[in-house]
Chain A
């Protein structure tokens, strides 16, 4: 028994509790409880009316049993009876029972509410507080309905006791949180705000929680609280430690209230009134100064209370993000804490620095602590502290330190706690992508990740590396080489096999020249892993095999044999069996052309939201990551980082220029290389001869120039094309798919296909923000003097709201959504200028007006033409008039790698002719440009000079404009 048993002491209860404590086993305890429940039940049901004391005692026992974790299904009525007892102690136990065992039995709620109503109107402050506590503890909707109107009245009434006001404020807060629609402050607003001025510190302390919550939901209505809060804070901060008597806690004046005041101010921007702002800055400086003073007490409570205020002040400084001086001081202060002997302070300093890292004023200052943070990651004994250190490294990472940080995180991963590995993996993957300057580093990092923590590499991570490799032409060869090497390891993670299978299936040809990684070697390497893999990986490998058959015809027999084996074609797994059967059949009956079409290289991925980032967001909850992004120093830097419209002003001002940041998926890519191999040559075997010089006599048919002005009704004139639109256009000369344009708000992806003189282009407009675009409208037009010819564009919006012709409905693109537009193109005759694409929409009220060149160039209408050397030279000679030839000599702006050059020439749309030019270093190509008016035969010769890093490019065609244009276009590609 405890030494002290204040109050009335219920002996029966104490005996029961002792009995329970003496139970030797769980069974004994349950037995004892059941006995007691039976006893109580019989007492409640008995004929004899129980007196108040017994009722209270039994209700209390039931409560105890419930708190032990047992179910209680009776006694509620007795508890409700106690509420209307005229003995305080019985009433109190009744309320406690109701508060703990709330039951939404409506009959009961009505009774409870009745009792509460009586107590609230009793004008006895002790009873009123009990009733208010009960409402605050239960907080149900029924109670809000009954009392939300009454409580504000109690809160602001002049004659209400302080203690009742305190309870009323927090009671109202609880009701507001549960049922905001029922709590209407309206007329009370100003009087509630003025509670900040109340003489009684306890009233201010309670009221400020309510005001903070209301302010965060309706900042405008409560904005008068800012100046009141600042002056209250100023008085506390400047008071001596004894001024506030019992509200001073271990020599710190009113720490709870100070923290809450600082928290309230974080609902608002910095005060506009200069005097108020000055006073606040003074307070913040004082708080920072005090941190440097010697402690007034050695007790941890003193330093905790003091530092609680300091951290809250730093949060406010970060929230304002406008006082460089304070930000840097805050950062220095946290820097001291990073090495503090108190684990708690180190933890909080790491946490708080994370947000400081995203302010442009303090980002650099945070970075100076990198060594300390890395050290914390390595040496802290508490996993939650190490977790914070990892978070901070992630937040302080930028281009300058990415390699160091990623390396440290990778090495930490080898020993990291299992609980945080997955998140670490995601973060490493994101940083590697975000700050990749050279993509071989990116590929290395991700493969290392798979090696070190393969089990924690989620699908999103390896999907992402594949997306990037597919969309980045310049890394494909390296990726193929690296995965090939990684797969050499005797035991490699299944995720490595997946990545390896996929990449070799797509780009194995890029390393097939080396006999050490010849097609068969590649295949055997992959197949050696096959039997150790799960079904989904095997399925992926089978697809890689069929791609091999297309890439390397010499592997066909071997692979067909594998597919034909019983273990494949009779595999008990339906998916594997089906793949084996289908692939085997496909490889045996399809012609090379069909095979090449079916198994063509994967088109670039249009979607740019990083799947990893989405995963991290999901893991951390939307709040955590979005803060980092919105406050991100280098906005929009995250590739596909789904910039939300958090900062509309900045986003809008940047809207017409693509983000200058790293762009993994293409915008600023170096020379685009397309591996697509148009193999429709055979369809057109004889076309070339028809299009020979004689065809020129067909002449230019002026009447044939068709044009159809695209449907366009726009209030504002389309903006002139972006300065970089030519560059963007050049990107697409040798490829058909990819990201055409991207800024903070919008991403435009393109997929296109051409056949003869017809083309179809799919434009994908992706809204990268979380806010809808209104009045979204796109138009395609042919530029100025070409108005009357060339291209016929028929725009079809799939988005029904986007009816540009009638414009009766406002077209909307929801946040995060993508709309597709199809453009059909017909080439009527040869042309130079590309059509213009204008996009207009409103984002957060601001009109966005972007014009781009649609990547339709004359070479898109090439049909490749295969021919023997003799034919080639004969035709070459036929095109010998000076105006039929165009020539350029230019310096190489990219590497002169053979495979890359070949890929580009094929991407141009011509056939690459082997064994034609006597000099094997040179390339010759042939193709026919298909227009409605005529066909223009075209021959090409490219002479690289590796020593001088120069090229000579010669074009001959039956039409001077075509020769010149193709020559100009192609010269930009090397």
Chain B
């Protein structure tokens, strides 16, 4: 996977994760173009599209669009389920997740994503194991370790 974007129906970017080195300018341009392209599509359309030399896989959950860019040989359907699993993780962690949770706790959304995907590949697909890792981290919140 090359990158993942979360954005609202109004086109506001809520989360961006880049797995390939790109300049800030390129990232902004890509996000802008892609958000526009996807928002212009109708609801019943297919979840995949060719975009530049990448395959875009996206799905809308309530007010949020989840969008992944994968390479030519990558599997679209399994990417769609990557998105779904991430949504499930957020949902489980926040309890009925909504866009506001991701806005106000954006750092948590990033932490959960890092446990699930790393370097653009699935690191741990078990929901239980990902959440366990996050909860352990939460328990460590205020503990101080000897240096």
Contact = CB atoms under 8 A, between A and B. Distances in A.
Interface of A: 1-8, 14, 17, 21, 60, 63-64, 67, 69, 84, 86-89, 92-93, 96, 100, 124, 126, 129, 132-133, 136-137, 139-140, 163, 166-167, 170-171, 173-174, 177-178, 201-202, 205-206, 209, 246-247, 249, 254-257, 259, 263, 266, 301, 304-305, 307-308, 311-312, 315, 343-344, 346-348, 381-382, 384-385, 387, 621, 623-624
Interface string B109-144: 011001000111111111111000100111011111
Given A86-B146, A259-B75, A308-B78, A205 B140 contact: no
Contacts of B111: 92, 96
B79 to A, nearest CB: 8
Contacts of A132: 118
Interface of B: 13, 15-16, 19, 21, 28, 41-42, 44-50, 53, 72-73, 75-78, 80-82, 84-85, 93-95, 98, 100-101, 103-108, 110-111, 114, 118-129, 133, 136-138, 140-147
A129 B141 CA distance: 16
Given A174-B119, A621-B53, A2 B48 contact: no
A246 B92 CA distance: 15
Contacts, number: 199
B123 A86 contact: no
B123 A348 contact: no
Contacts of B142: 8, 87, 89
B147 to A, nearest CB: 5
Contact of B106 (A1, A67, A171, A384): A67
A92 to B, nearest CB: 7
A263 B108 CA distance: 32
B78 A2 contact: no
Given A259-B75, A263-B75, A67 B13 contact: yes
A821 to B, nearest CB: 40
B46 A2 contact: no
B95 A3 contact: yes
Contacts of B72: 623-624
Contact of A255 (B53, B73, B81): B81
A382 B108 contact: no
Contacts of B119: 136-137, 139, 170-171, 173-174, 177, 209
From B85, B121, B126, name the one whose CB has the most chain A CB atoms within 10 angstroms: B121
Contacts of A139: 21, 119
A6 B138 contact: yes
Contact of A263 (B73, B122, B136): B73
A93 B110 CA distance: 10
B78 A96 contact: no
Contact of B84 (A201, A301, A346): A301
Contact of A308 (B50, B81, B114, B146): B81
B27 to A, nearest CB: 10
Given A174-B119, A384-B45, A247 B146 contact: no
A429 to B, nearest CB: 21
B44 A93 contact: no
Contacts of A137: 114, 119
B48 A344 contact: yes
Contacts of B103: 17, 21
B105 A2 contact: yes
B124 A343 contact: no
Nearest to A17: B104
17 contacts: A4-B94, A4-B95, A17-B103, A63-B107, A67-B106, A87-B143, A126-B140, A139-B119, A167-B123, A173-B121, A246-B127, A246-B129, A255-B78, A343-B44, A343-B46, A385-B46, A621-B53
